Chain A
Amino acid sequence: MSNKSFAHGHSAHCESGVMSLMMQHHGLPLSEAMVFGLSGALMFAYLPFVKLGGLPLIAYRSMPRAIIKGLQKNLGIKMKMQTFSNPEKGTEVLDGLLAQGEIVGAQTSVFWLPYFPEEMRFHFNAHNLIVYGKEGDDYLISDPVFEAPVRCETLALQKARFVKGVMAPKGLLYYPLKVPESIEYAVVIPRAIKKNAKAMLKTPVPIAGIRGIRALAKKIGKLGKKDPRYAKLFLGHIVRMQEEIGTGGAGFRFIYASFLQEAGRLLGNPLLAEASEMMTVVGDQWREFALMLAKAIRSKKSQPIDFSALQRKLESVADAEAAVYRKLLDGNLD
């Protein structure tokens, strides 16, 4: 059985992609960029005390599930979210929902999904996908970061849904109970943008928002004192968090620029169009930074890495990004 009317789409990021496809399926046309922007998910966080494979967590967006929750809060969507302690029960409920013709969001590990390319399989537990049907023992899956729909055997998906560890999915399933027919963009857009800009500029802790970017820059400046292998792994880790994890390029900055552009058109507001162009430039700077990191990783032992140049580059990115938020926060968005 499968839901015939469901249409797969290719997205940059799993959670915003899933929510966009799900809303479209339920009659609310929302692009991925709008989902991302309206949930206020743009962030930066550098958490030296949370380690992934021995390296600190560097995030360009807010916590997993923040997009689902942010969208609920800001748009008045009502989602059913369900976790399970028993894997068999989790599979049973999923199969039951599919039998009723529901399309269901699920959180999984990346490592245990057999359709992922071998070289992309890492232990990351907060991946999102849509299950839209079942044929024999195979689930029909719309994984938004893949170009086309994929398939996955029952036991493999169960394993991927019930791994333990950091951000364990606990079999999370979600689907909308109530989707509004229309959205008052003139109210919702300015509110979401102001809130997000404020979160990036006025962070109470020195490791999130613009202050987080500066904290990371400072850390890079001190990497010269560390073991060279660790230093290079650290730099590579930044590139991976920014580019490898589905971010649409430049750690979600391009998606957000796309959101600002769409929002500007909806509200007929030239300030948003301008902010979008500024954010595009910021995204390009993040990519230049990634290129510098890649060159540093490549460098031979005889050529020492210029960590202070990397630090200065990242600090200039932080300055440029802060200017966009200041413009959004001070400007009239109505």
Chain B
Amino acid sequence: MDNSKVPQHNISTYANHKKAIYATDENGEYTIVASSGWNVEEEATKQALMELERLAGLAYERVATGKVSPLYFHMYDRRMDLQTLAQATGMFKWRIKRHFRPMIFERLSGKMVERYADTLGISVKNLCMLPPRGESGV
């Protein structure tokens, strides 16, 4: 890529950071150019973030209507899914799925709740409830 063509679109996902891109100068020599981002990349990142938000939003409604335990929302709120959470806690998926049932979640031992809170990086208190609508539980 020609260094004059390195995109400098100041994309929001970089939050004012710059990324190193390899490009050629007028003599064809490669140098590193600091790029403020390419809108193509920004769109792809935002698409992924919006999908995570959409899943968290759906999860919120399911918890709010009492269908599943708050753990289900916080998993998505921390940009995880069942597979990621299972790997991060070292627990079987079926076991975590059981804990999505509100009755069972309520009766979990303090130690187990702490394990989830620790993995998700939130407090036990926050894990056991829903944050106000439209907010993250962190």
Contacts and interface: CB of A to CB of B under 8 A. Distances in A.
Nearest to B44: A239
Contacts of B6: 249
Given A119-B13, A248-B20, A254-B22, 4 more contacts: A145-B19, A164-B88, A240-B48, A258-B30
B22 A258 contact: yes
A145 B20 contact: yes
A87 B88 CA distance: 14
Nearest to B14: A117
Contacts of A283: 1
B13 A284 contact: no
7 contacts: A53-B84, A119-B49, A121-B79, A236-B48, A237-B44, A243-B38, A293-B44
B20 A261 contact: no
A277 B28 contact: yes
A194 interface: no
Interface string B7-22: 0000011110111111
A255 interface: yes
B61 interface: no
B87 interface: yes
B30 A244 contact: no
B13 A112 contact: no
Contact of B41 (A32, A244, A277, A284): A244
Interface residues of B, number: 41
B123 interface: no
Interface string B26-64: 001110101000111101111111010000000000000
Nearest to A159: B121
B20 A10 contact: yes
Interface in A114-150: 117-123, 145-147
A242 to B, nearest CB: 9
A284 B88 CA distance: 38
Interface string A234-277: 00110110011010111000110110011000000000000011
Interface of A: 10-12, 32-33, 51, 53-54, 111-112, 117-123, 145-147, 159, 163-166, 168, 232-233, 236-237, 239-240, 243-244, 246, 248-250, 254-255, 257-258, 261-262, 276-277, 280, 283-284, 287, 290-291, 293-294, 297-298
Can you list the 9 inter-chain pairs with the closest CB atoms, starting with the nearest?
Answer: A117-B15, A165-B87, A258-B30, A254-B22, A239-B44, A294-B40, A119-B13, A236-B47, A248-B22
Contacts of A276: 30
Contact of B43 (A119, A163, A298): A298
B130 interface: no
Contacts of A117: 13-15, 17
A52 to B, nearest CB: 9
Contact of B22 (A12, A233, A297): A12
Contacts of A54: 81
Given A249-B21, A287-B1, A290-B40, A257 B30 contact: yes
A112 B121 CA distance: 9
A250 to B, nearest CB: 7
B22 A249 contact: yes
Contacts of B18: 10, 147
Nearest to A248: B22
Interface in B61-75: none
B18 to A, nearest CB: 5
A261 B29 contact: yes
Contacts of B43: 236, 239, 294, 297-298
Nearest to A240: B44
Task: Give the residue among B48, B49, B83 with the most A Cβ atoms within 10 A.
Answer: B48
B90 interface: yes
Nearest to A265: B29
A239 B15 CA distance: 19
